[in-house]
Structure 1
């Protein structure tokens, strides 16, 4: 009975990430395809095959990318955004989504993200991430003299984290990629331990 339970659990643990990932991508595809089909119906065009709406949305996004390389379009868009930013709720939601999108769109060499260890008072270390080379000027003006940098301490199993300002001299730089270290922190090290045990 115990072997059967372990085998069932192993099957679930191996299949679940794949099934959930495929379901998320399929849901995204279906939603975008439905949106594209809706746009086609608005202009009176029939749907000829499944995925036509998805291709239309991709084409529109590509066209938007081309338009945003034209200065007048960028200027007009910025004006519209600035007007909408007057509404507090829109400012909060748009600002958060825009920050995430900006983080994702940066190239690896421009991210400036570095994995570090921060020593605690009891001699233990906490994994952190330097997210920017410098802290904001208002914070630097309020802090004592020193080379302060913002360090993110990721909370396990959560998207949220805690940002602390730490002196650069108190950081131990780790030769570990941001993606791998973030994955380690998000899963509290369970993912890495499981992978090592499986080898």
Structure 2
């Protein structure tokens, strides 16, 4: 009976991520299909084929990306964003989400995003974080002098995090992408790393 429970939970852990991923994809595609049908019905009448919503969604995102790459469109977008950046409560939510999204854009990644290990002198524990700022230039006065960086320390299951300004000598870059670090933080670093196969014995 003990083995039955073990196999059941092992199978559940294997199937659950796949099932949830497929379900979320299904919900997303179904929503895009329904939206496309509602928008296109006045123009195409009864013409419709499965997958039209997904195709139009991808094309729409690409088109928006191409448009906002133009200087004039970005200026026009600033006027569209004005209500979201002026209303007190909405401003805080929109600005935070936009800054978080901008942090993961390819242009920002090329600017030197880095996953680091934070080690405080005299302490044995280590913290994994993301360098979000490489100096205190442009910030209000009051920060300690010296070469300091801002490190964001995400909490498990993405319930929040802390940003700390520390000396550059306290951080050590590691070979890990921002996406990998955020994904590992999401599950509190519980993912198992594959172990290397033992070397064959020589007789």
Q: Match of 2:148? A: 148
Deviation at 1:113, TM superposition (A): 1.9
1:53-132 to 2 correspondences below 5 Å: 53-107=53-107, 108-119=109-120, 122-132=123-133
Task: Quote the RMSD (CA, aligned, Å).
Answer: 2.7
Deviation at 1:32, TM superposition (A): 1.1
Deviation at 1:12, TM superposition (A): 0.6
Deviation at 1:121, TM superposition (A): 5.1
Deviation at 1:15, TM superposition (A): 1.0
Deviation at 1:48, TM superposition (A): 1.9
Deviation at 1:44, TM superposition (A): 5.5
CA distance in 1, matches of 2:149, 2:25: 37
Q: Higher helix proportion, which one?
A: 1
For residues 131 and 85 of structure 1, do their structure 2 counterparts lie closer, same or farther at Cα, with a shift above 3 Å needed? Answer: closer
Q: Match of 1:30? A: 30
CA distance in 1, matches of 2:162, 2:121: 15
Identify which range, 8-17 or 128-137, moves more after superposition. Answer: 128-137
CA distance in 2, matches of 1:126, 1:65: 36
Deviation at 1:6, TM superposition (A): 0.5
Deviation at 1:145, TM superposition (A): 1.1
The residue matched to 1:32 in structure 2 has which SS? helix
Unmatched 5+ stretches in structure 2? 199-203
CA distance in 2, matches of 1:113, 1:186: 18
Deviation at 1:111, TM superposition (A): 4.4
For residues 127 and 75 of structure 1, do their structure 2 counterparts lie closer, same or farther at Cα, with a shift above 3 Å needed? Answer: closer
For residues 69 and 172 of structure 1, do their structure 2 counterparts lie closer, same or farther at Cα, with a shift above 3 Å needed? Answer: closer
Deviation at 1:38, TM superposition (A): 0.8
CA distance in 1, matches of 2:184, 2:58: 34
For residues 123 and 91 of structure 1, do their structure 2 counterparts lie closer, same or farther at Cα, with a shift above 3 Å needed? Answer: same
Deviation track 1:144-190 (CA, whole Å, cap 9, x = no partner) reads 21111111112112242111111112223334443334333333332
Contact 1:158 1:186 in 2 (8 A): yes
CA distance in 2, matches of 1:73, 1:7: 56
The residue matched to 1:128 in structure 2 has which SS? strand
CA distance in 2, matches of 1:19, 1:177: 26
Contact 1:118 1:128 in 2 (8 A): no
For residues 72 and 124 of structure 1, do their structure 2 counterparts lie closer, same or farther at Cα, with a shift above 3 Å needed? Answer: closer
Matched, 1:137 2:150: no
Aligned residue-pair number: 197
